[in-house]
Amino acid sequence: MYAGQEGKELEGLSDMIRYFLYKQIYPDDDLFDAPLDECPQFRGKIRTHYSARAIYYSPSELSGSGGMHSEVIRSHPSWYNGYERRDTVLVQDGPEDDRMGGILVARIIRLLSFSYNDTFYPCALVEWFIPCGEEPDPITGMWIVKAEISRGKRTREVIHLESIIRACHLIGVYRNDHIPTDFHFSFTHNSFQYFYLNKYIDYHSHESLPS
């Protein structure tokens, strides 16, 4: 990765970490967006990681109705010395009676970890994808999501790894457009405006995603 790409990718990270720490320290504060000058200062070391493991309850797992399933989530700038790989995940962001069961989709830009006041925080820098509409697409049965945009840029945030449920799969909504024959799948997350949240890729996804 070039130095210019690295800087652009991590632009604003220090401020996002300060907002993250405020929410971790004051989880019951009604002030959802605290002024930056009220957020903790952070000048510690940050570690970056290329993968994390998600472990979640899976009632259809072969180990039985009480079984657990695990999978690896990756965010790598050069997967096997080639294209970048930025996995997408399901994040529990609200109550289950909200649309899409209170779940949002996030694209992992960086996996991070750091310590603050002797507390260790495993985190992820993510881009948010929000649901379009209040119900799944009536034809496919899949929810349609789109990248959340603020001031002309995709919304990014630092989140705790404990809020991540599992990995997920997005499919670009093609509509009537033709996809070039040389289009590489690694461009998908940056090339489409809308995405299907694929609940048919495996039975874990089918059970995890609300109908």
Give the tens place of pLDDT for each residue, 145-184. 999 999 899 999 999 999 998 899 999 998 787 888 898 8
What are 194's two structure tokens?
A: 């809308």
Confidence of residue 201 (pLDDT cuts 50, 70, 90): confident
In whole angstroms, what is the distance from residue 39 CA to residue 16 CA? 10
CATH 1.10.150 holds for 45-75+86-208: no
**From the CB of residue 72, how many other CB atoms can be counted at a distance below 10 Å?**
11
Query: How many CA atoms lie within 13 Å of 83's alpha carbon, on the beta-carbon side?
Result: 10
In whole angstroms, what is the distance from residue 208 CA to residue 211 CA? 9
In 3D space, the residue among 122, 23, 2, 129 whose CA is nearest the CA of residue 73 turns out to be: 122
pLDDT digits (tens, 9 = 90+) for 52-110: 988 877 666 555 556 677 889 999 999 999 999 999 999 988 787 788 888 899 999 99
Polymer length of the chain: 211
In whole angstroms, what is the distance from residue 183 CA to residue 117 CA? 47
The model's pTM: 0.86
